[in-house]
A and B are shown apart, each in its own frame.
Chain A
Amino acid sequence: MRKPGQQEFEAFVAKIEPDLRRALFAVLGVERGREATAEALAWAWEHWSRTTRLDNPTGYLFRVGQSRSRPRKERPVFVRSEWGDPVVEPRLGDALAELSEGQRTAVVLIHGFGWTMREVAELNGISVSTVQTHLERGLKNLREALEVEDRA
């Protein structure tokens, strides 16, 4: 069972971690998203030989992170820090948590982190048109929940 060298693993984490963390944040919320990211990276360390053979390590570790995090029936929590920027709609966190997992992933990754629909589709192993549907429905639900009419 091969283990990575420290530089090798550090380089892997530097490359994978930002997208992995953001994707898991979108699905699981702030705290569970971070926990799941650490879990997925720990899995990569423990299964290094397999990890290096993956075609889409981010997508695979994304699913590892989800399956190794706490039970999914737990509602994701999106906390807007009181220390942060005060000019943010306070109901946004709850409204995001109410979206379906697919809708939330599309909305947060595309509008929050600037991903393309194709990147989200590759991450989830679904079609671009499905991502587009998730995005449109997610934004519609957010607008209704927040009572805003503008177009994101």
Chain B
Amino acid sequence: MPDLAEQIRKFVDSAEPPVTIYDVGALLEERHRSSLNRRRIGHTARRRRTLLIGALIVGLAVVLVSQLALSGQGSSAAAVLDRAAEVAATQPAPNVPQRGQYLFFSLTQSAFVGIGEPGEPVCLLVTINKIDTWVAPDGSGRQVVETEPYQHLLPHENQACKDQDAHASTQPTVSDARYPTTHPIAGTVIHNTSTGENYLVYLASPRIPTSPGPLKQYLDKQFKTSGHVVNEFMLVGTLLEEGAPPALRVALFQLIKRLPGISLIGRSKDEAGRTGLGIAIDGYGNRFVLVFDTKTSAALGMKTVARTTRTLGGQTVPKGTLLDFTNFGPTAVVSSISTVPGKKT
């Protein structure tokens, strides 16, 4: 394990997203609204406060607009995300399975594993999982996970980790289990932290707010993002894949647009080689990228790349190293729990 000081330095990353003047303005506005609801305020005082809050909101809006105008990347990203939201609004409602049917969805996901003895450098391994899931309207179903043998994250550490390869799987494995499952790599299982139940987003979508502010509050509370922009960004990417209805997709793009630090990286490929438009956000020393299809606004894939050369578990990870990725596959309603769209059974 890295030493205590290094652990503490890494840990405090979660304090990093700044509190912006926008947050301050929202707080004042919220306080103002609740005070109006709770007690009668004298006309003069209320008018003065409203004017003050109004002035602050207008001021903040001017600042935000001017900041966007000054930031070429920010303004480009905002324009692209506005366009994505427009496209999302025109998409058909997702197929929802009826009784006797299943929603099939598939993704390929790399998982990062660190193996090592205390005091020794950690061996950085990656495994790739192909996850196929069938879900009935009641949320039950089946999940098949094909796991490839471990690969080394860093080619140069092969020798250093030779003795530890005994810990690593060298053969592909397949698990076939009921869904929902507590399988730790089941990327699309969403854990409802308030009740402890697992559910799919499309089943819960009527309960999810479709305006950016309440949506952010809902996601922060329900999925414990800690208000961290990176967590929110990654979560939004996952939700976009989950067959979200058009109104929710629009809100998700509007929410991404409001995240501080969002940037446009232009035409990009996901790790499956599909071309789309990439947007990114930096945090935890990494760059997190979401690639989406501009024609449908559907998420194609996400990936995490080391933004700087850094030390992980005692190993040097060069800048640009691909740390993990998710490729989103086809989604369709099928009539049996073993049918894979586009494949003969």
For the complex, give the distance between the alpha carbons of A67 and B186 in Å: 42
Partner of A34, one of B8, B19, B28, B55: B19
Is B24 touching A30 in the complex (CB atoms < 8 A)?
Answer: no
Q: Scoring B residues 2 to 21 as 1 if CB is less than 8 Å from chain A, else 0, what string do you get? A: 11110111111111011111
Does B230 count as interface, using CB distance less than 8 angstroms? yes
Of B7, B55, B63, chain A has the most CB atoms within 10 Å of the CB of B7
Interface size class of B (residues with CB under 8 A): 35 or more
Chain B nearest Cβ from A112, distance in angstroms = 4
Does A78 count as interface, using CB distance less than 8 angstroms? yes
A-B contact count (CB 8 A): 129
Q: Contacts A21-B18, A87-B2 given; indicate if A6 touches B59 (C-beta within 8 A).
A: yes
For the complex, give the distance between the alpha carbons of A91 and B60 in Å: 40
Q: Contacts A6-B60, A87-B313, A152-B3 given; indicate if A13 touches B21 (C-beta within 8 A).
A: yes
For the complex, give the distance between the alpha carbons of A30 and B226 in Å: 7
For the complex, give the distance between the alpha carbons of A25 and B15 in Å: 6
Chain B nearest Cβ from A120, distance in angstroms = 14
Interface size class of A (residues with CB under 8 A): 35 or more
Partner of B19, one of A21, A107, A112, A146: A21
Does B87 count as interface, using CB distance less than 8 angstroms? no
B92-117: which have CB < 8 Å to A? 112, 114
Contacts of B225 in A (CB 8 A): 81
Is A111 touching B5 in the complex (CB atoms < 8 A)?
Answer: yes
B148-176: which have CB < 8 Å to A? none
B27-80: which have CB < 8 Å to A? 27-28, 31, 52, 55-56, 59-60, 62-63
Chain B nearest Cβ from A70, distance in angstroms = 14
Is A83 touching B3 in the complex (CB atoms < 8 A)?
Answer: no
A98-152: which have CB < 8 Å to B? 107-108, 111-113, 139, 142-143, 146, 148, 150-152
B194-240: which have CB < 8 Å to A? 224-228, 230-231, 234
Is A84 touching B9 in the complex (CB atoms < 8 A)?
Answer: no
Does B272 count as interface, using CB distance less than 8 angstroms? no
Does A74 count as interface, using CB distance less than 8 angstroms? no
For the complex, give the distance between the alpha carbons of A86 and B127 in Å: 14
Chain A nearest Cβ from B62, distance in angstroms = 6
Q: Scoring B residues 277 to 308 as 1 if CB is less than 8 Å from chain A, else 0, what string do you get? A: 00000001110000000000000000000000
Of B19, B21, B24, chain A has the most CB atoms within 10 Å of the CB of B19
For the complex, give the distance between the alpha carbons of A61 and B313 in Å: 37
Contacts of A21 in B (CB 8 A): 15, 18-19
Please, could you name 7 A-B residue pairs with CB atoms under 8 Å apart, sorted by A?
A10-B63, A37-B19, A92-B7, A107-B8, A111-B4, A112-B11, A146-B4
Footprint of A on B, CB under 8 Å? Answer: 1-5, 7-15, 17-21, 23-24, 27-28, 31, 52, 55-56, 59-60, 62-63, 112, 114, 122, 224-228, 230-231, 234, 284-286, 312-313
Known: A83-B230, A89-B7. 7 other contacts (CB 8 A): A33-B15, A81-B230, A87-B2, A88-B7, A93-B11, A107-B8, A150-B3
